């Protein structure tokens, strides 16, 4: 039985994205509504410019509340992580998983020729590895 070896076997195709000039409230609404741990931030050309995590949003909201500000004035670009680790669809699941552990990042945009084609998260990789493990013990 083949084991899932490439990110393309478990990545989420066409992930939700948000623009850097969106306000943080919009990002939080998307994260909560779709039960995500974060969003890929892209520009108008589909190029990845950052990652926005739940923790980034939490920090932004707490900072805004502490400073008596309006959360709708905080922009994604102000709180996103712009140092983005990416992978491609052919990268190995085990290698990407190890890199995610090393960097303590829970998601990776998946790029082909510099364009976003998917996203992989820890839960995607866990699912793929558990499915492989189940099939292996049943077979």
Domain residue extents for the chain: 7-138
Other CB atoms closer than 10 Å to residue 83's CB: what's the count? 8
The superfamily in CATH containing domain 7-138 is: CBS-domain (3.10.580.10)
With a pLDDT cut of 70, the percent of the chain lying above it is: 96
Distance between CA atoms of residues 35 and 69, nearest Å: 26
Give residue 2's pLDDT band: very low, low, confident or very high (50, 70, 90).
Answer: low
87 closest CA partner among 16, 12, 7, 5: 7
Q: What is the pLDDT of residues 44-90, one digit of tens each?
A: 887 899 999 999 999 999 998 888 777 778 899 999 999 999 999 99
Evaluate whether 12 touches 136 at the Cβ level (below 8 Å): no
Distance between CA atoms of residues 65 and 135, nearest Å: 49
- What is the structure's pLDDT at 1? 43
- What is the structure's pLDDT at 109? 96
| Structure-model confidence comparison of residues 68 and 113, the more confident one | 113
Q: For residue 69, what are the contacts with CB-CB under 8 A and spacing of at least 6?
A: 63
């Amino acid at each position: 039985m083949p084991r899932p070896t490439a990110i393309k076997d478990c990545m989420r195709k066409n992930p939700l994205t948000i623009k850097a000039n969106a306000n943080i409230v919009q990002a939080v609404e998307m994260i909560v509504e779709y039960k995500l741990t974060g969003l890929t931030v892209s520009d108008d050309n589909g190029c990845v410019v950052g990652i926005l995590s739940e923790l980034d949003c939490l920090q932004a909201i707490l900072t805004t509340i502490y400073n008596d500000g309006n959360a709708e004035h905080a922009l994604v670009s102000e709180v996103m992580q712009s140092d983005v680790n990416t992978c491609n669809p052919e990268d190995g699941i085990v290698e990407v998983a190890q890199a995610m552990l090393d960097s303590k990042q829970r998601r990776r945009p998946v790029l082909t020729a510099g364009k976003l084609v998917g996203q992989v998260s820890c839960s995607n990789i866990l699912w793929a590895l558990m499915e492989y493990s189940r099939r292996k013990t049943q077979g």
